């Protein structure tokens, strides 16, 4: 193997690690969606990948879950009743800006995307999912550096 | 600009910052008059004024082509720049660091990695202040520079496949 290719492999290690060798034990993901079928499917998917999974069906429940036990990553649907994803994102950022919040949505307006970015979303993934892309985005979220001071 | 393109740029910037432990980053869009801020993140400012306040503060002023900016140089020459300390760029270089935003915000720019973007837009990805494991600001190493270029190349391939 050439040196350049070894360096490239090393450089991308943090993204590939979670997707290929399993996640660090205790890694917690919170899935927030009001569609029960999707919630069940994503829960099964992430449990099979050895994540610890919490679920919520709206923003209010999501905030309660975040306050109860800090997740490493939140998958947050935008269009939900009671408290929508954007409002929940803003509230989560007030609790802990180091949580990687990935917005999930079907069709949406550009202004909503802009607002999510402006308010600290780590990532944004449209439905239907490309699961390989989702895995890598979550791996990036998990490898995000959080200085201890 | 459509939702998918903007989403891809957010994901790219976040992944590049995670990969390099960069304190801040910006995606610029190349336009007729210069570069405009498309996506901007700064963890240090966000700690004090929140993500929205930080984004609003940073995105106020575009970079006109008439300014000898670092991002402008990268956009025009399509050449990546890896700068150890923005404040020590020699005066005879064809680009210079404008401390305007640092002065306005109290943020202190040091190391910079600035690379041209071809997909999904023509523009520039700018990363600021790489950190080591202790959280100290350090230059961007050659390894992480290559990793970012690899990440951009992967993104281009994904975009090309649709």
* Distance of alpha carbon A7 from alpha carbon B144, whole angstroms: 9
Query: Residue A22: its pLDDT value, please?
Result: 60
ipTM of this predicted complex? 0.84
From chain B, pick out residues whose CB is under 8 angstroms from the CB of A11: 19, 143-144, 146-148, 150
Cβ of B146 within 8 Å of Cβ of A7? The answer is yes
Residue carrying the six token digits 């994540």 = A51
From chain A, pick out residues whose CB is under 8 angstroms from the CB of B52: 90, 118-120
**A11 — contact with chain B (CB < 8 Å)?**
yes
Residues 6+ apart with CB under 8 A from B30: B75, B121, B122, B123, B124
Q: Which two tokens stand for residue A31?
A: 């899935």
CA B157, distance to chain mean position in Å, is 21
Strands (E), chain B: 22-30, 34-42, 63-64, 81-83, 112-117, 123-131, 137-138
Query: Residue A14: its pLDDT value, please?
Result: 44
Q: What percent of chain A has pLDDT over 90?
A: 57
Among the ranges A44-48, A132-136, B54-58, which has the highest mean pLDDT value?
A44-48
Query: Residue B139: its pLDDT value, please?
Result: 97
DSSP track, B122-137: SEEEEEEEEE-TTS-E
Cβ of A93 within 8 Å of Cβ of B50? The answer is yes
* Distance of alpha carbon B109 from alpha carbon B113, whole angstroms: 11
**B46 — contact with chain A (CB < 8 Å)?**
yes
Query: Residue A60: its pLDDT value, please?
Result: 95
Residue B111 has pLDDT above 90, yes or no: yes
At B58-107, the pLDDT tens digits run 777 788 888 899 999 999 999 999 999 999 999 999 999 999 889 988 89
Cβ of B19 within 8 Å of Cβ of A143? The answer is yes
Query: Residue A100: its pLDDT value, please?
Result: 95
Distance from CA of B5 to the nearest CA of A (A): 10
Residue carrying the six token digits 């670092």 = B70
Give the ranges where A26-130 is alpha helix by DSSP (H).
36-48, 59-68, 85-95, 110-118
* Distance of alpha carbon A46 from alpha carbon A118, whole angstroms: 28
Residue A96 has pLDDT above 50, yes or no: yes
Nearest CA in chain B to A97: B47
Distance from CA of B91 to the nearest CA of A (A): 33
DSSP track, A104-128: EESS--HHHHHHHHHTT-SEEEESS
* Mutation to test the B interface, candidates A105, A118, A137, A143, most B Cβ within 10 Å: A118
From chain A, pick out residues whose CB is under 8 angstroms from the CB of B3: 108-110, 113, 126
């Amino acid at each position: 193997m050439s040196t350049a290719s070894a360096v490239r492999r090393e450089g991308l290690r943090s993204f590939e690690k979670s997707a290929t060798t399993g996640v660090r034990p205790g890694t917690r993901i919170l899935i927030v969606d009001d569609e029960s079928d999707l919630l069940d499917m994503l829960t099964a998917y992430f449990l099979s990948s050895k994540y610890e999974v919490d679920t919520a069906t709206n923003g209010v429940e999501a905030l309660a879950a975040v306050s109860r036990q800090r997740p490493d990553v939140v998958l947050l649907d935008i269009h939900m009743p009671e408290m929508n994803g954007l409002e929940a994102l803003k509230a989560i950022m007030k609790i802990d800006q180091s949580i990687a919040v990935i917005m999930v949505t079907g069709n949406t307006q550009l202004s909503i995307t802009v607002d999510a970015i402006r308010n600290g979303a780590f990532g944004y993934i449209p439905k239907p999912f490309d699961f390989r892309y989702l895995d890598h985005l979550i791996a990036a979220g998990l490898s995000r550096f959080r200085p201890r001071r | 600009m459509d939702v998918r393109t903007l989403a891809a740029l957010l994901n790219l910037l976040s992944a590049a910052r995670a990969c390099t432990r960069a304190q801040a980053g910006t995606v610029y869009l190349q336009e007729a008059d210069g570069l405009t801020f498309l996506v901007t993140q700064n963890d240090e400012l966000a700690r004090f004024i929140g993500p929205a306040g930080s984004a609003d503060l940073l995105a106020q002023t575009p970079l006109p082509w008439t300014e000898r900016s670092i991002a402008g140089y990268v956009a025009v020459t399509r050449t990546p720049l890896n700068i150890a300390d923005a404040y020590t760029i020699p005066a005879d270089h064809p680009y210079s660091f404008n401390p305007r935003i640092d002065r306005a915000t109290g943020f202190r720019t040091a190391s910079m990695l600035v690379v041209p973007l071809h997909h999904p837009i023509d523009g520039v990805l700018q990363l600021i202040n790489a950190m080591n494991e202790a959280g100290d600001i350090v230059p961007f190493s050659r390894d992480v520079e290559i990793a970012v270029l690899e990440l951009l190349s992967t993104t281009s391939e994904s975009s090309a496949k649709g």
